[in-house]
Homo-oligomer: A and B are copies of this chain.
Amino acid sequence: MATPSAAADDELAVLLGPSGHRVTVPRRAVWEALAPGAGHLTVDELADRVTALGHDVDLASVYRTLALFEELGIARVSRLGRGEASRWERAHPDEHFHLVCTTCGSVDHHVGELVERVRDHLADGHGFVADTVELVVTGRCGDCRPPD
């Protein structure tokens, strides 16, 4: 499959068109690589996936594409660990946070009402209008936790 699907093509056209940005091969490829279920990808991993899809996109273009996607609100970045690279995913409508296992390195999403609660808490008289809420929890996941 060396060509991004027509579906992704259309989808991107809808997402990019209104803002006057062009639909290009690198952008379609990055959007596909960033597919739902792909998890939290570093730019390098993303570039590898793009290559696996049969494209040869420069790292700089991947960075520029991601910056654009973030600006448009269709991708999301998080800084998950110490000294680690940024990790990207498609933006979800759901508020969620990240559970980073320090043993196996897995990163899980955790959708919950917690993030919303943070927002509410701040809205109540703290004079701070929350824009983004980034919640990262490190620890040991169920699989890596030493048995009790």
* CB pair A126 B110 closer than 8 Å: yes
**Segment of A1-9, A24-32, A53-61, A129-137 in the binding face:** A129-137
Known A-B contacts A112-B121, A126-B110; A134 and B136 likewise in contact (beta carbons under 8 Å) = yes
Tell me which of B82, B121, B133, B142 contacts A128 (CB under 8 A): B142
Query: Measured between C-beta atoms, what is the minimum distance from A46 to chain B in Å?
Result: 16
| Residue in B closest to A98 when the chains form the complex, CB atoms | B134
Query: Measured between C-beta atoms, what is the minimum distance from A94 to chain B in Å?
Result: 16
Query: Measured between C-beta atoms, what is the minimum distance from A126 to chain B in Å?
Result: 7
Interface residues of A in 74-111 (CB under 8 A from B): 77, 79, 82-83, 86, 99, 101-102, 110
Binding site for B on A (CB under 8 A): 77, 79, 82-83, 86, 99, 101-102, 110, 112, 114, 117-118, 121-122, 126-142, 145
Complex CA gap A83/B86 in Å reads 8
| Residue in B closest to A141 when the chains form the complex, CB atoms | B128
* CB pair A128 B114 closer than 8 Å: no
